[in-house]
Structure 1
C-alpha cells in the first residue's frame, strides 16, 4: 500500500472561491498520474480529501480555513422529528445501485436540477461533457444509487464505497418533488446504508459556517468535523 508521505501533490494558483465570494482559494490535488487506488483514497479521506471526477483534492488556502471536512458516524445517528418525517414521506421509493454510466435519463435529470437549483453556480449551464467528466467515471468503488417511484427516476446519489464508509460525492434530483426533500433523504438513506453495511461513517464533504448552501450539513447530529488534524464530534 502506498504511504501518504510518498505521494506527490500539486497546488493550483489562487482563484475565486466558489463558496465565499470575498475569498481567494487554492486547491491541493493528488498527482493525477497516481492510480485511483481505493486504499489511498480511503486514507486521504481520513485527512479531509474529496473526489471530483478522476481527481482527489483538498482546499489549501493560505489565509482561510473555512472549509472543514465533515462526516456522519452512522451508528450514533438518531434522526430528529423532521428527518423521520422525510424518511416516512419517501418510504415508497425503491433504491437500486447501478454502475456509473452516461444515459439520457440521468443527464436530463441532472440538467433540470442544475438549471433550477444551481443557476448561480459554476456548473451552470450544464452540458454532457461536464456531466461525464464530473460524475461518470469508471471506478470500481463508485455507484449511482437510483431513487425511483414506480420506475420514474427521481434522484441519483453518486456515492463511493470506501473501507470505512460511504463518500457522498454528489446528489441530483427532480426539482418538481420539493415536498419530498430528496437531497436530505438521499443523505438519510446513505446513513442507513452505511449502518447496514457495518461501516463507520458518511463523508459529507466540506462544511462552511458562513456559506448558506453548506449549513444543512450540521442538521445531522452527531457530526464529526476535522479540525486541527483530528476528527471531533459536534453533538
Structure 2
C-alpha cells in the first residue's frame, strides 16, 4: 500500500534584485514549491491569487516598497477584438496550430534564441542554453501543453501553456522576431482566447501588467482585461489611472500576505 505524507506549502522570499520592468526599483518575490499529488490543486488556487508558475515553483511579486506589478487575465466573455486585432487574426490565419506535450526540441530552441537575441539580449534569460530551455519546458508537475504555430515551412511561434480549472495560463511565449507584419505576440494571445472559448474556460492568464513599463503596454490593449489588486480581481479600466508612485507603507508585511493566502482544502 502506498502512503503519502500531507504536503503543506511553505512560503519564502527571494533576496532583492534590480527590477526588470521599472528603473531604480528593487524586485522581491514570494514563492513556494509546486510538488506532490496536489500540485494541480495548488496551482489552480494560487493562480487565482496572482501567482505564476516557473517550472516547479509558484511566485508572485512581493516588493518591499512597490506594488506596481499586478497579475493580469482576460475575461473571455468580455473580450471583443479591436479593428487592429481582427486584422492580425486575418493576416496570421494561415498558421497551423499544434498542441503537444511539453517536450523541448532543437527547432524550438533555435527560435527561442532568435527571439531572445532580438528582444531580450540583456535580460535574465539571455544566457539560457538548450538544457536550461528544456528544463523550463519539461519540468512541469501539472497539465501543460506546448502550442506550436507553423507557417508550413518552419516554426513561427511557441507558447508554453498551463491548463487551469478556470482558464489557460500562458507561462512563456516566443516567436519569429522578423515576422513584424504578423504581430505574432498578439496573435498567440488572440488564439489562446479562441482556444479558451472552445474549451469553455472563462479566462486567459497573461502574467503581470506593470503601469509605466513599455514592455507591458501591449496587455492593456486587450478588452476584458482584469487585474489582481488588493486581494481581488477587477476590470483594468483606464490604464492612465494607475501610478507607479509608491508610499513606504503601501505594501503589507510578508507575514500578513502569507496569512491571507487561501490554500486548497487539505493543504493547510
- Conserved in 2, the CA contact under 8 Å of 1:114 and 1:125? no
The verdict on how the C-alpha distance between 1:116 and 1:35 changes in structure 2, with shifts beyond 3 A counting, is farther
1:113-128 maps to which residues of 2 (within 5 A)? 113-128=115-130
Contact persistence 1:115–1:125 (CA under 8 A): no
Distance 2:145 2:52 in 1: 16
| Deviation, structure 1 residue 31 | 3.4
Paired residues of 1:10 and 1:31 also in contact (CA < 8 A): no
Worse overlay, 20-29 or 60-69:
20-29
- Contact 1:53/1:133 (<8 A) preserved: yes
Match of residue 241 from structure 2: none
- Output the CA distance in 2 between the equivalents of 1:187 and 1:134: 20
Distance 1:13 1:142 in 2: 29
Pairwise CA RMSD: 1.8
- Alignment-derived partner of residue 110 in structure 1: 112
Q: Distance in 1 between matches of 2:12 and 2:234?
A: 28
* Higher normalized strand content (fraction of residues): 1
Q: Spell out structure 1 runs of 4+ moving beyond 4 A.
A: 32-36
| Equivalent position to 1:191, from 193, 205, 208 | 193
CA contact (8 A) 2:28 2:62 kept: yes
1:43-62 matches, cutoff 5 A: 43-62=45-64
Q: How far off its partner does 1:24 sit?
A: 1.1
- Residue 211 of structure 2 is aligned to residue 209 of structure 1: yes
Cα deviation code 1:44-102 (max 9, x no counterpart): 00110001122111111111001011100111110000000000001111101011112
- TM-score under structure 1 length normalisation: 0.93
Structure 1: any 5+ residue segments left out of the alignment?
none
8 A contact 1:98–1:143 mirrored in 2: yes
Distance in 2 separating the partners of 1:132 and 1:160? 16
State which structure, 1 or 2, has the greater radius of gyration over its C-alpha atoms. 2
Count of residue pairs brought into register by the alignment: 232
Greater mean deviation of Cα atoms: 97-106 or 120-129: 120-129
Q: 2:87 aligns with which of 67, 77, 85?
A: 85
* Residues 1:69 and 2:76 are matched in the alignment: no
Q: Tell me the secondary structure at the aligned position of residue 212 of structure 2.
A: coil
Residue number among 162, 165, 169 corresponding to 2:171 in the alignment: 169
Q: Contact between 1:164 and 1:199, CA under 8 Å: does it hold in 2?
A: yes
What is the distance in 1 between the residues matched to 2:38 and 2:130? 23
TM-score, normalising length: structure 2: 0.82
Task: Give the CA deviation at 1:36.
Answer: 6.6
1:137 is aligned to 139
